[in-house]
Chains A and B, each alone.
Chain A
């Protein structure tokens, strides 16, 4: 007989009985504390059910509310009873009614027998604890907490505020250095009796009875006074979520629990029949002799916490609808926006599609239609090409598109003719790479066969829209990667900017561009701009575009594909 269990039970008595029986039958005495809130009848049935086992005892019942002192008192009483009644017990293991042993009891016995003087208790100073909830770590020990956090939250909060304001502090008993840790421990008889029989215990108890959540600090602190042989970890596998409440284990955690090699786990869902049957059956005694390794289980639970607190970037759904600025990424993946390129080059989309490993769309936000790649009427995620649906919620259209195509880079064309509702959204999106040839919208106007007066009007409108859009791209809030060339600058030397863009996107193979898209002829475009000026409009976004004569020599070149050395 080397280890005895103290069990704190308040619900699922049938499961507690099963586990207590398992330990008792394997020659480990058990002292059970049943919460006073358990009805008298249920309690007496519970006691009767375990009456056949003479190494199971029941200790004085207290009404234990979460985070209160009575929990400690219950464990003190039960431990004292255990130590007194069963003198052969060398280690005392504190467990709860929802704990489940994962490995054969014999293995635990052997493990403890090899470490007869070691105390297994997580005990960390407040500065080193990352997991306290509610911002109360150090203050747990220097403020008073007479009110229940669960039932009298307002009083609790009020009293904390009051003490903070008046800087009311308690004195920590001399020699005591506050430590925190999991409330599930396994202590040696020597250490535990030292704590329980200390002449100063009354003073310590008085102090800890007003500390917040004393069951996470009482033993964890006092153990430091009596023992130097402390393994600061719990033998009980217990994971906590972001609100500080324990994760629950279900049947589908079976394999995970097995692989953890931990001795005991909590909390187990009371209806997890497979877990209880599996781990409590006699034939489950595969002796591995392995060190406990909770790291394997850590991953899925830390992922769960991350999902709950950070979520998946760029996802908007029924249970994740972040306020502005809290999106953790407006969209889910990098994408590229091209403005003015299809206006300047005849075959820009095809060319880009050939060069880069990305999906190239046309003007997705055009007023006359949604130009999905290949002229599809529906695209990834069953996104419709209906203009009305898109314009009903352009932001959702964009974020859906990027979310639906995770793993494949999207490129699309944009311009001042298009729905501008996404202007600020793309500007603020760190995933966007935006390349703009400003003023290129004038090229289709130059080619259009409309009345000059309406061209002039349209030019003024588009220029105004693009200017606003460029303001957004250049603003302090913009997070997108933005490159802006004036039409004049771009035409002067198109290869260099194209090369830059392709390099950023990651081209399919070539290191240097060998093929340029076909530029439309700009013969007479300078004159066209001059005409606009003569009509009283000031086209400024194109930059200083050379007027008629200088164009002539430039014009021959772009028509041929570029071949770069």
Chain B
């Protein structure tokens, strides 16, 4: 709650939010080149309004977002780490503006894919969730990567990042239950394979619950990995069945990655003493190729469904 004082409103268009609008919540830092495609992607899905928190960007991200009619923007120069990696800020904004809305909390490099995404808008999904009395919807983070070295194909502004990073690992994910919050803890994928082969416990968590029918009493605990109250984390079935779920395509591994990793390492603002970024920096020196012969090329959500990375559940 104290963290709200750290947020300064840049432009507040929350008055234009309509009762049934689906909202996107995002914190970002220096993501200017990604923003045009990000906004377009979610507008196409049918998102009504973007609530964005800029953490001290100096690359024009703020100025760009300020001009967008469907964006409300806050800025802060405070510590990302001390705001529990932005979660405190997001919780505050959500509490204030997202109550009663479906809220999709994603990073600028995360792209939400759900069953029937090609033929049904996001509203179809949230209507179905409402009708089924489901309050939260899981979407695992799926790391996408290019074939060849990361810097081989530069990303251009406005471009679909998955024209470049269109490969993924289909079946090397490890799951355990987190007894404290009741969520699943998923690790694996190319990051575990390439960067954490000798220290799997440090491999980043891939479980995410980004889509929630927000209530002011809800709160994200650690990133969007888990929430309180605990019931919201039960996005999986324990009796053999499959609940419906989606995927967050993660466009982290582009040519921008090396610079980002360096910057983040210097800022020391990331989780667990930035262990993750130290591991990247160590390997990035050799300009690694995440691609392997068993990598899967991305086609569409049906492919992810068949591979068992997401599920239609009983949505038909």
Taking Cβ atoms with an 8 Å cutoff, the residues of A that contact B are: 241-243, 245, 247-248, 250-252, 269, 271, 300-301, 303-305, 307-312, 315-323, 326-328, 378-384, 386, 388-389, 392-393, 396-397, 400, 403-404
A-B contact pairs, 24 of them (CB 8 A): A250-B120, A304-B312, A304-B314, A308-B313, A311-B240, A317-B173, A317-B175, A319-B235, A319-B236, A319-B244, A321-B175, A323-B239, A326-B240, A378-B294, A381-B294, A382-B171, A382-B294, A383-B171, A386-B193, A386-B200, A388-B200, A392-B174, A393-B175, A396-B174
Q: Which A residues touch B236, using CB under 8 A?
A: 318-321
Q: Which residues of B contact A400 (CB under 8 A)?
A: 171-173
**Which of the segments B61-69, B121-129, B152-160, B270-278 contacts the partner chain?**
B121-129
Among B172, B184, B199, contact of A383 (Cβ-Cβ < 8 Å): B172
Give complex CA distance A396, B175 in Å.
Answer: 7
Decide yes or no: A300 and B171 within 8 Å by CB, A308-B241, A322-B238 being known contacts: no
Q: Are A307 and B121 in contact (CB under 8 A)?
A: no
Contact between B310 and A326 (Cβ–Cβ < 8 Å)?
A: no
Chain B interfacial positions (CB closer than 8 Å to A):
116, 119-121, 123-124, 127-128, 131-132, 138-140, 169-177, 184, 186-187, 189-190, 192-193, 196-201, 207, 235-245, 292-296, 308-316
How far is it, in angstroms, between the C-alpha of A379 and the C-alpha of B193 when the chains are bound?
12
Within the complex, the shortest CB–CB distance from B306 to chain A, in Å, comes to 10
Among A309, A320, A381, A386, the one with the most B-chain Cβ atoms within 10 Å of its Cβ is A320
Residue numbers in B under 8 Å from A319 (CB-CB):
138, 235-237, 242-245, 310-311, 313
Asked if B308 and A308 sit within 8 Å, CB to CB, the answer is no
The answer to whether A247 touches B120, judged by C-beta atoms less than 8 angstroms apart, is: no
5 A-B pairs with least C-beta separation: A381-B171, A308-B314, A304-B316, A319-B245, A404-B171
B139 → chain A closest CB, angstroms: 8
Which of A250, A378, A384, A388 has the largest count of B CB atoms less than 10 A from its CB?
Answer: A384
Q: Across the interface, do B313 and A242 meet the contact criterion of CB distance under 8 Å?
A: no
Contacts of B119 in A (CB 8 A): 250-252
- B241 x A309 contact (CB < 8 A): yes
Contact A311 B174 (CB under 8 A): no
Smallest Cβ distance from B312 to chain A, in angstroms? 7
**Interface pair A303/B174, CB less than 8 Å apart:** no
Residues of B within 8 Å of A271, CB to CB, are: 121, 123-124, 127
**Interchain CB contact under 8 A, B198 and A320:** no
A318 touches B186 (CB 8 A): yes
A360–B51 alpha-carbon span in the complex (Å): 53
* Distance of A404 Cα from B308 Cα, bound (Å): 10
* Chain B neighbourhood of A247, CB < 8 A: 316
Q: Are B190 and A301 in contact (CB under 8 A)?
A: no
Alpha-carbon gap, A319 to B305, bound state (A): 12
- Given that A250-B120, A326-B240, A383-B172 are contacting pairs, would A321 and B197 also be in contact in the complex, using a CB cutoff of 8 Å? no
Say yes or no: B308 contacts A317, CB within 8 Å.
yes
Least Cβ–Cβ distance between A432 and chain B, in angstroms? 19
Q: Do B177 and A321 touch across chains, with their CB atoms under 8 A apart?
A: yes
A310 to B314, CA, bound (A): 11
Q: Are the C-beta atoms of B172 and A309 separated by less than 8 Å?
A: no
Give A378's nearest chain B residue, CB to CB: B292
Asked if residues A381 and B311 are in contact (CB atoms below 8 Å), the reply is: no
Closest B residue, CB atoms, query A385: B197
